[in-house]
Structure 1
C-alpha cells in the first residue's frame, strides 16, 4: 500500500493500515495516481508563527517576501499486509516563494509558489510502475485573510482565511490532480505572558483520487502552535493534523523551529520535525529553512513644506510726472542706525535669517517652523518643526508607547501584537499589572520582567520624561518602620532592573512609603493586596526628601 510515515510499531501498523495494493503483480505497467502529495501549509511571512497566523495581520502597507528550501524524507511509502515494503518517494526537495501584502488593518492578500527541485522515485520502478517526474511546478496558492478581532481590544485575535490552489501543478510529479484545491479556515491567537498561542482549523476541498484500495481527497485540517514573543530570537512548537473525509489514515506532524531577526526588515527561519501516521504526504521527517524580508513598509509621515524664503515682490512705484523743477527738499538731521538683529530688538523673521528665534538649533532661514521649537526626538530633527505624531497613527507622541511604529490608540500606539501594559499620563506611568516580589523580600520575580521591559522601553523612547520617581508601598500589617525599609528596598530593586534595561540611572529615583499612603482599606485582604504596589511618578524636577538614586 502507499503510505507515508516513520516506521511505527508492528501492532500499531497492523491496526492502522489497510492494503492499498492487493498484490505487487497487479501494479505492473501502471502509472502513479495523480494527486498533490504535499500536505504542509506554512506561513513564512506571518508575524505570529510559522505554523499558524494566530488570527493576526501584518502592518498596513507592508509587503513581506519569503524564500525557503524544503526537504522531506520518505513522504510516500509502500506497505503490504501491514509491513513496510519500500519508499516509493524516498526524498523530495522544493523551493518555495511566498509573499504577503497587507492592504489595510483588516485585509491581507498573499501567494505561495512551490517549485520541485528534485524527487527520488526509484521505488516505483521496483514495483513495475512508471516513475513520476523528479521535478516540476507545484500547486500555486492564492490566499486572503480578513481580520475579524484584534487582541488589543478583544479576548483573542481572530481572522477568516481562504486559500485557493490553482489546477496547474505538475500531475506527473505528484504535484497536483488537475483540479482546484480550496481551503477556507479560521485562525485565532492570544498572547499569554511571553508566548503566543495559535490555533487554526478549516476544510480542504479537492478532487478525490484513488490510491490503491483507498482514496485521497477532502479533509478537515487543523494546527496548533505555541511561539515566543522575543524581539530578536523567537521559538515555536506546533502540531498539525487533519481529519480525512475519505478512506484514508489520519496524518500528523510535530514541528519545532525558530526565527532570528537581522535588523528591522529581515529575518531567517528554520523548522523541522517528524511525521506521525501513515497517510500519503506525511514524511518520516521534514526540514525547512529560509529568510523573509519586508520589501515595502508603511509610508512614514512626510516633512512639512518649506515656508517661503523670499519676500513677495514689491509693487513698482507709480510713474512721477515732473512739470517743473522741484524746490530743494529740506535736509533732515542724521538718524541713528539701529541693528534690528541685535539682542532685545524687534524684527521680522526675514530681516534676521541667521538668528534662531525659537532657540531650537535651526536658523530662521532653514527653520520650517521658526517660532515653534524642534522637539529633538530623533525624527526629522533638521526641519525645525516639532512632530506631534512621528509614526502617523493618530496617537500623540507624548502618550505613544511606540512613537516610531504605528499602532492603534487602544494599544497605546503600538502594534496590536505587542500588548501594552504601560499607559503614559500627565503625572505618572500607570501599569496594568503588578510588580511581584518574593514574599517578604526585595527580589523581583521573573513574572514581572515583561512589565519592566515595557516600562524601560517607554522611558527610553521618551527622553523628555527626565525624572521618574519609583515608589514602593506596603499594607499596614507589621511594624511601620520595617515596612518602610522593605518598600524602599523594593523600589530600589525596581530602579536597578530598569537601569539594567538601559534607562539612564540619573533619571531614576526610589522612595519607600511603607503603609503611609494606602489606596484602599487595610481591613480586607483585597484592600491589602491593592496597597502592596509599585508606582512610577513623572517629576518635573528631582524630588527632595527620603529618596535614593541607585
Structure 2
C-alpha cells in the first residue's frame, strides 16, 4: 500500500504527494502508477480446487467455461507510519471469464479474460495524481499446463504450467503496466482420505513500478489448499502469499470456497476471505461467485434404431404322401405317438431335437441347430462358423475369421472385450467425468465394442451392468453415483442397438472393492464398471434388480 515515512497532519493530505512520490513534487497532477492491482484470478481448470491447480488436469476432450463476478474491498489503501489513513481504491468489481480445454491426458490450455465493471476510487487528487478510470479491460492471461505425474500411478499428481499476461490491460484503471506478465509454476496434489491436499509455487516476472514508498514487481507466489472430494457438494480452504523480489510488503490471503453440482455438466461456486498485510492488491476482503459449464468436444454417438434379430425362416418339412387307408391291426401301437419309444427311421417326419428340422433332413437329429444364421438348414450346431479355431461361444466376431489372441476378430480390430462363463471381461476402463455419471469420449469405442459383442451373441440374454466406486465420500452418495453410472452405460448400449430387455443396471458403491482403498492405485482399481452374464429367471421369478 501507499506509505508515508514522515508524520503529517491529516488536513495536509494535499502534500502527501511530496512524501509519497518525491519525483512528482514539481507536478500539479500526475497519472497514477501503471500496474496490475489484481492478485487473484480464477483457476480455469478447477479440477481439485477453485484457486489452486493441485497438479491435476481435467479429462481429455473436456472443455470447461466459467463466468464469475469478483468483488474486492479496499485493495489499495493509504498508510502513514503503519497507520491506515484512507482507501485510495475503496472497492472494485470485476467480471472474469475463464476457459480451459484438455487436449490430451498430459496437456491442456486455458485463458482468463478479466473486465472491470466498476471501481470506486477516492483521494488520488489529494496525493497529486489523476483519478484512475472506473472500468476497462484487465490483463488477459493465456496458459498451458503439462501433466508430469498422475496420482493413480505415482505418489502425487504433478504439473508444470506457464501463464502469460498480455500487455493490453488498461493502465488507466490499475489493470496493467503495459508490459508482459509471465509466471512459470509447478503444482502438486495428493488425495488423503476424503480430501485433496494441493500446493503450487512459481515466479512472477513483471515490470517494476514504484507505488508510493514501495515498489510492485517480480515475486515468488505460492499457495496451499485443502479441498474435499464429494460428488455433489465440495468445500475448500486455501492460503495464498508471495515473497516479493522488490521493496514491497508480503501479501497474505486466507480463502474459503464451496461448489455445488447442478447436474452432470454444470456447477455454481463461491470463494472469498480476508487479506492480511499492506501490500498493494491485498484487499480487506474479497468474494468471487460464479457458474461453470463443462462440455465434451467429441462426436457424440448417432442414435440408431435398435437391431432386432430377424426371425428364422420357417423350416421346410417334407411331408410324405398320405398312404392309402389301411385298417390297422387291432393290437398295433403307434410308435411315433407322444411318449413312445422309436428309432429315427421309424419316425422321419418328427423333430426329435425340436430345432425345426425334421428327422429325415436333420444331419444332427439329437443335437438342435443353433440358429445363428450360418448353415441353419442342416440341423447341426456349428461350433466355429468362421473356422478360425475360436469357438463361436467366445468369438467376438463369429462370422469373420481372426486370430485367437484377438478374440477371433481381424487383427486390425483391437479387442478389449473377452467373453467368459460369468461375465464380459473388459481390458479397458469406462471413464466418467469426475464426480459425475457422464461417460467420457475416450470410453465410447469400448462401449461400441461391448454392444457389438452382445449383438453377435443373442444367447447372452441378460447382462447386469454394475457400477463400483472407491470409499471416499459418503457411502450412500457413492451408491447413488454408481447406480447413475451403470444406468448411463446401459443407455449407451441401448443407443447402439442392444435390446433394453437384455440389460439391467446396479450400483454397488464402495461395497465390493477389489483392492485396498488406502492407496491411489487401489482406489483407481475400485472405480470400475463390470458386465455380468445373468441366468434367465425361472418362469414367474422376479428379475434381479
Distance change in 2, residues 1:305/1:235 (3 Å): same
Bigger CA drift: 253-262 or 291-300? 291-300
| Alignment counterpart, residue 344 of structure 1, candidates 342, 346, 356 | 356
Give the corresponding residue for 2:280: 280
1:294 & 1:78 partners in 2: Cα distance?
A: 42
Deviations 1:137-163 (A, max 9, x none): 000000000000000000000000000
**How big is the shift at 1:301?**
6.6
1:457 & 1:292 partners in 2: Cα distance?
A: 21
Deviations 1:366-413 (A, max 9, x none): xxx9989xxxxxxxxxxxxxxx879xxxxx974689736289xxxxx9
Q: How does 1:465-484 map to 2 (within 5 A)?
A: none
1:187 & 1:103 partners in 2: Cα distance?
A: 19
Is the CA contact 1:27–1:129 (under 8 Å) kept in the aligned structure 2?
no
Is the CA contact 2:194–2:473 (under 8 Å) kept in the aligned structure 1?
no
Deviations 1:145-194 (A, max 9, x none): 00000000000000000000000000011110000000000000000000
Distance change in 2, residues 1:370/1:224 (3 Å): closer
Give the corresponding residue for 2:501: none
Residues 1:64 and 2:91 are matched in the alignment: no
Distance change in 2, residues 1:94/1:458 (3 Å): closer
Give the corresponding residue for 1:324: none
Give the corresponding residue for 1:403: 430
Deviations 1:84-138 (A, max 9, x none): 2211111100000000000000000000000000001122134342101100000
Q: How does 1:156-175 map to 2 (within 5 A)?
A: 156-175=156-175
Question: TM-score normalized by structure 2?
Answer: 0.58
Is the CA contact 2:44–2:100 (under 8 Å) kept in the aligned structure 1?
no
Is the CA contact 1:76–1:283 (under 8 Å) kept in the aligned structure 2?
yes
**How big is the shift at 1:305?**
11
Distance change in 2, residues 1:449/1:233 (3 Å): closer
Distance change in 2, residues 1:161/1:370 (3 Å): closer
Is the CA contact 2:229–2:473 (under 8 Å) kept in the aligned structure 1?
no
Question: TM-score normalized by structure 1?
Answer: 0.58
Unaligned runs of 5+ in 2: 4-18, 311-318, 323-347, 358-368, 382-395, 400-414, 418-422, 435-439, 443-465, 488-505, 513-531, 536-545
1:246 & 1:80 partners in 2: Cα distance?
A: 20
Provide the aligned C-alpha RMSD in A.
Answer: 4.7
Give the corresponding residue for 2:97: 97
Is the CA contact 2:48–2:56 (under 8 Å) kept in the aligned structure 1?
yes
2:441 & 2:372 partners in 1: Cα distance?
A: 42
Residues 1:187 and 2:214 are matched in the alignment: no
What SS does structure 2 have at the residue aligned with 1:172?
helix
Is the CA contact 1:70–1:288 (under 8 Å) kept in the aligned structure 2?
yes
2:105 & 2:120 partners in 1: Cα distance?
A: 44
What SS does structure 2 have at the residue aligned with 1:223?
strand
1:406 & 1:74 partners in 2: Cα distance?
A: 39
Q: How does 1:261-340 map to 2 (within 5 A)?
A: 261-297=261-297
Distance change in 2, residues 1:540/1:65 (3 Å): closer
2:245 & 2:291 partners in 1: Cα distance?
A: 35
Distance change in 2, residues 1:142/1:449 (3 Å): closer
Largest Rg, 1 or 2: 2
Is the CA contact 1:268–1:292 (under 8 Å) kept in the aligned structure 2?
yes
What SS does structure 2 have at the residue aligned with 1:129?
coil
Unaligned runs of 5+ in 1: 4-18, 311-331, 358-368, 373-387, 391-395, 408-412, 416-428, 434-446, 464-500, 509-537, 542-550
**How big is the shift at 1:333?**
9.5
2:45 & 2:472 partners in 1: Cα distance?
A: 31
Distance change in 2, residues 1:30/1:194 (3 Å): same
2:480 & 2:224 partners in 1: Cα distance?
A: 33
What SS does structure 1 have at the residue aligned with 2:276?
coil
Residues 1:220 and 2:214 are matched in the alignment: no
Give the corresponding residue for 2:87: 87
Give the corresponding residue for 2:315: none
Distance change in 2, residues 1:247/1:348 (3 Å): closer
Is the CA contact 2:424–2:533 (under 8 Å) kept in the aligned structure 1?
no
**How big is the shift at 1:210?**
1.1
Give the corresponding residue for 2:75: 75
Distance change in 2, residues 1:285/1:301 (3 Å): same
Residues 1:125 and 2:125 are matched in the alignment: yes
1:60 & 1:297 partners in 2: Cα distance?
A: 9
Give the corresponding residue for 1:240: 240
2:140 & 2:350 partners in 1: Cα distance?
A: 78
1:290 & 1:460 partners in 2: Cα distance?
A: 27
How many residue pairs end up in the alignment? 369
Give the corresponding residue for 1:516: none
2:304 & 2:263 partners in 1: Cα distance?
A: 29
**How big is the shift at 1:257?**
0.6
